[in-house]
Structure 1
Amino acid sequence: MALPRFAVELTAPDIAPWLAGNTGLRGFTTRDSGKPGPHAVLVALVHGNEIAGAIALDTLLARGLTPSRGRLTFGFANIAAFARFDPTDPIASRYIDEDLNRVWDVDVLDGTRHSTELDRAREIRPMIETADVLFDLHSMLWPSDPLILCGATERGRALGQSIGVPDCVIADPGHSNGRRLIDYHRFADDGRSPVANLVEAGQHWLQDTAETMLAAVAGLLRSLDMASGADALLPMAPAPRRPLYAEVTSVVTARTAGFTFMQPYRGGQVIRHRNTLLAIDGPTDIRTPYDNCLLVMPSLRPSRGHTAVRLARMD
């Protein structure tokens, strides 16, 4: 089934000034406060068409943002896919060969297979190994409230709830078809201290999404006490509010090409009653497993073998 046309309100930034970087890794720039503190790594363009994250990093780099403690790295990941971004066909430049956010398994990274994205992940990996905190900047194809994915660790949850924007924090186990960057063992294994979150700032290519993305980065830096004296460079902090927290209990993967939702659900929508029919996947009914089921990032045209929706129980 053909995808609808999506509005493109954003203009892709010119990241050429930042590609050389200063780290020896193309597209990565580190700014060091010279004071003790964490190494926070901000990563945009894991998907080449998710330009709101690139806009946020370009904005902060151009403003000269330097952390008040520790080190702050700004990274543009899938540069090759981003170079192909075309606002008349914005979906096409998500990746070149494969999804860069499904290759972060140690066995895959250490294997012999090659692709544009896998080779780039191997280039990026040494930088990722130095991160105390990683914030992966994403947006969404289908309409959804913005959210933070915190993975499955308590330290991930604590970080997500400290950021403040977005104010919805979701714990989830990832995807069946490959590990995300935030699922890399350094961030996902018990007994380790490095932590990662992923922000989904809103729908691709909308102005509100770019604004939410910048506010999320500002919230992260403030939560890490790395933004002292930088208020003029960052969006104003919102009034504190208790974040909504939910835990994904099941990931619905499309098993057939005929997966069909019963209506055009929106991410963040709460289905009040248990056993509500959400979708049909060939001979299988997909129903809510409990009352007050939160729909996380429904993909209204899921491909076979890909995540269609995650179902979450609210805290």
Structure 2
Amino acid sequence: MTCGPDDTRLPVRVERSHPFMDRLPPPPSPLPRWKIEIAPPDLTPWLEGNCGVPGVMHYEGRRPGPHTVCVSLIHGNEFAGAIVLDRLLRERIRPRAGRLSLVFANPEAMTLFNPADPIRSRFVDEDMNRVWSPALLDDARSSHELDRARLLLPVILTADRLLDLHSMLWPGDPLVLTGISARGRRLAERIRGISLSVADRGHLAGCRLIDHPRFADTGSAAACLLEAGQHWQTDTVERTMQAVLSLIGPCCGLPIRTDQGAPQRHSIVTDVITARSGAFRFTRPFRSGAVVPTGGTIIAFDGDDEIRTPYDRCMLVMPNLRPACGQTAVRFARAVRE
């Protein structure tokens, strides 16, 4: 796939020698009061696991086939995926062919969830979706999330296809992140009910699960990450269920719906914008998936710097409307041309 020539590309960040305060948007308002429509599930029956790894429920089909792994709770406050896996386990969904593993990655973080302060339970010690590099997993350093990743690693290393279940803090169009592997994109095309897939290279802050070498270009398996919608919404749970069933349905003998929207549009991330100051703010509250028609449009300020779109029809992927210094503020992506 290609995203076309870059001959119209414009500077992304324009550093200004002196501030123009009259051009800056007003300071951000307090964080919104999040609408909480769902509650964390009771995972007590599954926490011990059934295969020697706590929090992993593993089942074998009678016929040979690939090992499919669905992972929830990489982030403790994103429990829509855990609700879906819990429902499937209680309905005794089993594979007829191949192997199926349903994973609750960080249930300890979920136990910290407080509806009065819902964003605080993302992790116990550190972001679990930044610890999957082999060098870090082999290192002597210890944390709750890193130790937990080491326990889960044998399951990850035997996966043939993996779906990592997430949701989004800020409003946006649901999407599937594929990494840069062509296998990841092909896997994303099997996910029904999601109209957008985005290829990217991950985070500078650390290696995501889908970027582990098992799933990279040099690996032999495929993985993608589902961003099913906004945290704590019933629609996000239903969308996650559709996505999971579209992946595990064939091996479990379940019917697959075909009336779940238009074929996926594919985009590729060209730029990752990191906040250099605590004064990063957008010119307006952009949704993820918003397309800015004209290159050079100012979409944010980082202190005195202008953040501009680098080309026409630039898609904003998962803008973080309140990034701290050093956090990813937004990704720029352009449509892929087959």
Which residue in the other structure is 2:275 paired with? Answer: 254
Pairwise mapping of residues 1-315 of structure 1 onto structure 2 (< 5 A)? 2-188=30-216, 190-222=217-249, 225-228=250-253, 230-231=254-255, 236-239=257-260, 241-315=262-336
Q: Which aligned runs of 4 or more in structure 1 are off by greater than 6 angstroms? A: none
Work out the number of aligned pairs and report it.
308
Q: Is the 8 A contact 2:192 2:242 kept in 1?
A: no
Give the letter for the 2:330 counterpart.
V
Distance in 2 (alpha carbons) for counterparts of 1:237 and 1:9: 28
TM value normalised by structure 1: 0.95
- 8 Å CA contact 2:195, 2:261 repeated in 1: no
Tell me, in whole angstroms, the C-alpha distance in 1 between the residues paired with 2:127 and 2:228.
19
In structure 2, distance between residues paired with 1:73 and 1:141: 27
Aligned mates of 2:31, 2:258 — CA distance in 1: 37
Q: Is the 8 A contact 2:193 2:261 kept in 1?
A: no
Q: Which amino acid aligns with 1:219?
A: S
Whole-angstrom CA distance in 1 between matches of 2:280 and 2:88 = 41
State the AA in 2 paired with 1:238.
D
- RMSD over equivalenced CA pairs, Å: 1.3
Provide the C-alpha distance between the structure 2 equivalents of 1:289 and 1:164, rounded to a whole number of angstroms.
Answer: 31
Amino acid at match of 2:237: A
1:117 Cα offset (Å): 0.8
Distance 1:10 1:254 in 2: 32
Q: Secondary structure at the match of 2:279?
A: coil
Shift of 1:227: 3.6
Identity %: 50
AA paired with 1:186?
R
TM-score w.r.t. structure 2 length? 0.88
Q: CA deviation at 1:138?
A: 0.1
How far off its partner does 1:240 sit? 6.0
Structure (1 or 2) with the larger CA radius of gyration: 2
TM-aligned CA deviation for residue 100 of structure 1: 0.3
State the 1:239 CA deviation.
4.3
**Residue by residue, what CA displacement relative to the aligned partner does 1:125-177 show, whole Å, maximum 9, x if unpaired?**
11111111111000000001110001101111111112223121100111111
Q: 1: distance between equivalents of 2:172 and 2:263?
A: 20
Taking the aligned partners of 1:286 and 1:148, their CA distance within structure 2 comes to 25
Structure 2 residues without counterparts, runs of 5 or longer:
1-27
Give me the whole-angstrom Cα distance separating, in 1, the residues matched to 2:261 and 2:284.
Answer: 34
Q: Residues of 1 paired with 2:144 and 2:173: CA distance?
A: 31
* Cα offsets for 1:27-72 (capped at 9, x unmatched): 0001211211000111000000101000110011111111231011
Name structure 1 gaps, 5 residues minimum: none
